[in-house]
Structure 1
Amino acid sequence: MSLWTAAEAAQATGGRATSDWQATGVSIDTRTLQPGDLFIALKDVRDGHDFVAQALEKGAAAALVSRVPEGVAEDAPLLIVGDVLDGLTALGRAGRARSGARVVAITGSVGKTSTKEMVRAALAGQGRVHAAEASYNNHWGVPLTLARMPRETEFAVLEIGMNHPGEIAPLAQLAHPHVAMITTIAAAHLEAFDSLDGIADEKAAIFSGLTGDGTAIVNAALPQSERMIRAARAAGAWVVTFGAEAPADWRLGPVTVAPGATTAKAHGGGLDFLLKVSSEGGHFALNALGALAAATALGADLSRALLGLADWRPPAGRGTREEVILDPARESERLDLIDDSFNANPTSLSASLSVLAAAQPRDGAGRVEKGRRVAILGDMLELGPEEVAMHVAMAEDPSMPALGLIHCVGPRMKALYEALPYERRGKWVETAEELIPHVARLVDAGDVVLVKGSKGSRVSKVVDAIRNLGHRSASRDQEA
């Protein structure tokens, strides 16, 4: 089915189509491009115009460009615009304008992507759902998601992020959601803001894009909650709160974390119910509650949403739990790996440490008689002038006494390493690459190993190194 015709795309962008074509998808990467896609020649690390010829050879229906690239025929199927990013934004705006979908947009310092996927799961089976891929939440990710939205979409789930002040409002206005949700406020990207209040104000800018009858979903248990609620009401939104505190509209009761699952008693929508996700962590329960509030505000049925959430697991690198079999011939020769290497700040690190502290290692399985809880921690980035103090403060996290060994990666994590009790210090290195040759000696069969750090710390390479120690078990994968 056609997503964009040449005439529609030209009208949306104000560009000039060199021929008549029909696109069935939209792509910004020739590595994942599918035949029939409209290739967007964005300029980032490389200029997308350099890949237009390759995209057309791979079967792209056309390419959105600002000039005819070298080596591409004048009569090639192109849509020529003044600026490619502006053209993509215009295409996204048109995709949103022509859609009858109910739209939710999610932001927050922690948990945006996981909550976006929770809402997707809650809506599954209740209509045609279109959701952002991965963490496509920035100045090109949001319009790309909207440009890819099929005409028949009934629910759209978007994620909106920021690094600096002033980024969220234009994206929120582009998304024009019926429901806007803020997961939480934490010390992420703090180097660009004066305070957590400044971060809250930027996140609350998402409410400026709400439709006339829009709903704002706000975490009620934050120091900045009232600040965000005032902003939502100033935008004319209907406010719905969620949290573990009694005044919240959607309230989380006692939480139980068991192997492979988290359950909680909860109340919302006028009903008491049992909430379940197939992942370990109390923070997942709270995000799931907010996801339910958002899904029902879109018009979803609560009972069906609960069923959809029951099988939810986090996206790769955000708390996925798997078993690494070190020796297929010996069943005991295995360790549990928690991959949370995509992002980190003090709030999310504390949540991950609590998951590790609750995990159960196995004794008598490896070189070390007693199984251990091992953390491999990379730098938390973009925390601002207090970043060293924030790293040091993690030594006092309530989960730390339950951990056996902490290995640290990066100059900022050196401050935490030096603040740890001597008996918990593992190895410190400047870069993730330096740790990789030592991985086989740092972890052992029976261990539960958490790898956590900001993406820029590159500790995902350590995750790969641990996986390469043995054979990953697909049949016994869990999520944490």
Structure 2
Amino acid sequence: MTRALWTSDEIARAVGGVASGAFEASGVTFDSREVDAGDLFVAMTGEATDGHRFVEQAFAAGAAGALVSRQVDGPHVLVVDTFAALEALGRAARTRTDATIIGVTGSVGKTGTKEALYAALERGAHDRVHRSVKSYNNHTGVPLSLARMPADTRFGVFEMGMNHAGELAHLTTLVRPHVAVVTTIAPAHTEFFPDESAIADAKGEIFRGLEPGGTAIVPFDSPHRDRLIAAAAPHAARTVTFGLGKGADVRAVETMRHARGGTFVTARLRTAELSFTIAHPGDHWVSNALAVLAAVEAAGGDLALAGLALADLGGLAGRGARRTITLAGGGEALLIDESYNANPASMRATLSVLGEEQGRHVAILGEMKELGTQSAAFHADLAEPILAARVELALLVGEPMAALATALEGRVDFVHVADAAAALEQARTLLAPGDAVLVKGSNGVGLARVVAGLAGNS
């Protein structure tokens, strides 16, 4: 018989609450729309809404119990503050497990690296690997992901994000990783930081939560490498670098583009040499894969199985998923879905991938948010990678893209529109059979609707 994730008594002890009666929960969620049968529903209270309004809906969907800060009808644990209680439940989940925990952060690539790590470790530890789902990487998502971790987990992989200094310092004390990975440092959330060095310092906060004997994993090719190594030094028993440059502890000694779109890599690690294929194209995915292998090696996972997992790794919706779409006028085109997020570094990386595809290169690009006073310059600077990728048609979405439109004038055919709805309308008219189409922008632009519309889902 499968053991419950949490009993009401365990929840009450963990959060300092009072249980109304006995119940068992098989999952945890704070979104009433995602409640599955047997879940514990956490009624979070925020500025925009109050989760207590949806307790009845959660029970109707099959919730086993609720974590609440006021009396409700139905099985529940009563606490003073549900957010503090969720953090306490996450801490309790972390305390009760003997799992090897890996924390992942970075300006670019953290979700893809987290998913690849999960796949790599799952190959050798079936059904005993846990990870944060979606992009649950903030002050509520991290404790929720921890609270969902079964006690008998062997490996836990947790993504941690931030857009202000000090946020990771707190999250890493919840996760307490044995291995902490920084994927890369790049201009992101620059509205909240004076410069890129400050971003590196904020990302380096992840090392403060390392368990004794822990390993820090740092991008060798980053200009902030030494800064990250210094940040890790007081907390890590070992620091491992990964990258393409000579001198990296985990390094790609040979790479070759695969005929089917991926990359064949021979990598030298600290204890082994491994040849493997990455399903995803692009140098940024070579770097991600090296970070994955460095983490698997540090965590004591199976490197050979990790290599096989990287070859089978499918694209994530919004983060590199590829599909062939049928156009309204007939014929087909390749659609590369990078619609979930964007910053200057990830834009350059994915445009480079587009440049390697066959057919006419079309880029549907949404604005990059949270770039502060440098926003216009960062958008204009995309002209160079667009030209390098041999883009023949650019569809620019959002007012901040005006700076890029000016930079492209007379150099590349483009259309500048106000929003995602207008972009979809234009794309349906402008795309032609054989096109390779990249869709990328900050999540708030809503380019996922463009992807869904072109794929025939709306």
Tell me, yes or no, if the aligned pair for 2:354 and 2:389 is still in contact at 8 Å: no
Whole-angstrom CA distance in 1 between matches of 2:53 and 2:273: 57
Structure 1 position 83 matched with structure 2 position 81: yes
Structure 1 position 426 matched with structure 2 position 414: yes
Tell me, yes or no, if the aligned pair for 1:417 and 1:425 is still in contact at 8 Å: no
Render the CA deviation track for 1:364-404: whole Å, top value 9, x for unaligned: xxxxxxxx110010001111211101111111227535111
User: Could you say which residue in structure 2 is the equivalent of 1:476?
Assistant: none
SS of the residue corresponding to residue 233 of structure 2 reads helix
User: Could you say which residue in structure 1 is the equivalent of 2:27?
Assistant: 25
User: Could you say which residue in structure 2 is the equivalent of 1:202?
Assistant: 202
Give the 3 Å change call, closer, same or farther, for CA 153–107 of structure 1 in structure 2: same
User: Could you say which residue in structure 1 is the equivalent of 2:4?
Assistant: 2
Stretch deviating more after TM superposition (405-414 or 432-441): 432-441
Structure 1 position 442 matched with structure 2 position 430: yes
User: Could you say which residue in structure 2 is the equivalent of 1:48?
Assistant: 51
RMSD: 1.6
SS of the residue corresponding to residue 90 of structure 2 reads helix
User: Could you say which residue in structure 2 is the equivalent of 1:368?
Assistant: none
Whole-angstrom CA distance in 1 between matches of 2:389 and 2:452: 27
* CA deviation after TM superposition for structure 1 residue 24, in Å: 1.1
Render the CA deviation track for 1:32-88: whole Å, top value 9, x for unaligned: 2111110011134421111101111222111001112xxx43xx2111111111100
What residue identity is the alignment partner of 2:144? L
Tell me, yes or no, if the aligned pair for 2:328 and 2:428 is still in contact at 8 Å: no
What residue identity is the alignment partner of 1:65? V
Structure 1 position 414 matched with structure 2 position 414: no
Alignment of 1:303-382 (within 5 A): 303-326=304-327, 333-361=331-359, 372-382=360-370
Give the 3 Å change call, closer, same or farther, for CA 458–327 of structure 1 in structure 2: closer
What residue identity is the alignment partner of 1:116? K
Q: TM-score, normalised by structure 2?
A: 0.95
Tell me, yes or no, if the aligned pair for 1:354 and 1:399 is still in contact at 8 Å: no
Tell me, yes or no, if the aligned pair for 1:210 and 1:237 is still in contact at 8 Å: no
Whole-angstrom CA distance in 2 between matches of 1:195 and 1:236: 26
Structure 1 position 64 matched with structure 2 position 67: yes
Whole-angstrom CA distance in 2 between matches of 1:399 and 1:12: 56
Stretch deviating more after TM superposition (233-242 or 243-252): 233-242
Alignment of 1:110-259 (within 5 A): 110-127=108-125, 128-258=128-258, 259=260
Stretch deviating more after TM superposition (302-311 or 288-297): 302-311
Tell me, yes or no, if the aligned pair for 2:395 and 2:423 is still in contact at 8 Å: no
Stretch deviating more after TM superposition (198-207 or 417-426): 417-426
Whole-angstrom CA distance in 1 between matches of 2:324 and 2:379: 29
Whole-angstrom CA distance in 2 between matches of 1:119 and 1:58: 32
Tell me, yes or no, if the aligned pair for 1:327 and 1:334 is still in contact at 8 Å: no
Tell me, yes or no, if the aligned pair for 1:189 and 1:383 is still in contact at 8 Å: yes
Structure 1 position 262 matched with structure 2 position 263: yes
Identical counterparts, % of pairs:
45
SS of the residue corresponding to residue 234 of structure 1 reads coil
Whole-angstrom CA distance in 2 between matches of 1:275 and 1:398: 30
What residue identity is the alignment partner of 2:173? Q
Give the 3 Å change call, closer, same or farther, for CA 215–399 of structure 1 in structure 2: farther
* CA deviation after TM superposition for structure 1 residue 439, in Å: 2.2
Tell me, yes or no, if the aligned pair for 2:327 and 2:428 is still in contact at 8 Å: no
Tell me, yes or no, if the aligned pair for 2:187 and 2:196 is still in contact at 8 Å: yes
Whole-angstrom CA distance in 2 between matches of 1:425 and 1:214: 51
Q: TM-score, normalised by structure 1?
A: 0.91
User: Could you say which residue in structure 2 is the equivalent of 1:108?
Assistant: 106
Tell me, yes or no, if the aligned pair for 2:130 and 2:153 is still in contact at 8 Å: yes
* CA deviation after TM superposition for structure 1 residue 423, in Å: 4.9
Tell me, yes or no, if the aligned pair for 1:275 and 1:310 is still in contact at 8 Å: yes
What residue identity is the alignment partner of 1:388? A
Whole-angstrom CA distance in 2 between matches of 1:409 and 1:236: 44
* CA deviation after TM superposition for structure 1 residue 176, in Å: 0.5
Which residue among 376, 394, 407 is the counterpart of 2:382?
394
* CA deviation after TM superposition for structure 1 residue 417, in Å: 1.2
Whole-angstrom CA distance in 1 between matches of 2:435 and 2:123: 39
What residue identity is the alignment partner of 2:277? K
Structure 2: runs of 5 or more not aligned: none
What residue identity is the alignment partner of 2:310? L
Give the 3 Å change call, closer, same or farther, for CA 395–444 of structure 1 in structure 2: same
Whole-angstrom CA distance in 2 between matches of 1:234 and 1:438: 54
Tell me, yes or no, if the aligned pair for 2:327 and 2:454 is still in contact at 8 Å: no
Tell me, yes or no, if the aligned pair for 2:352 and 2:389 is still in contact at 8 Å: no
* CA deviation after TM superposition for structure 1 residue 431, in Å: 1.4
Number of equivalences: 452
Whole-angstrom CA distance in 2 between matches of 1:103 and 1:49: 33
Whole-angstrom CA distance in 1 between matches of 2:392 and 2:419: 22
What residue identity is the alignment partner of 2:112? S
Tell me, yes or no, if the aligned pair for 1:337 and 1:449 is still in contact at 8 Å: yes
Give the 3 Å change call, closer, same or farther, for CA 280–247 of structure 1 in structure 2: same
Render the CA deviation track for 1:138-190: whole Å, top value 9, x for unaligned: 00111111100011100000000001111001110110110000000000011
Whole-angstrom CA distance in 1 between matches of 2:457 and 2:40: 41
Render the CA deviation track for 1:397-429: whole Å, top value 9, x for unaligned: 275351111110011111101111425232101
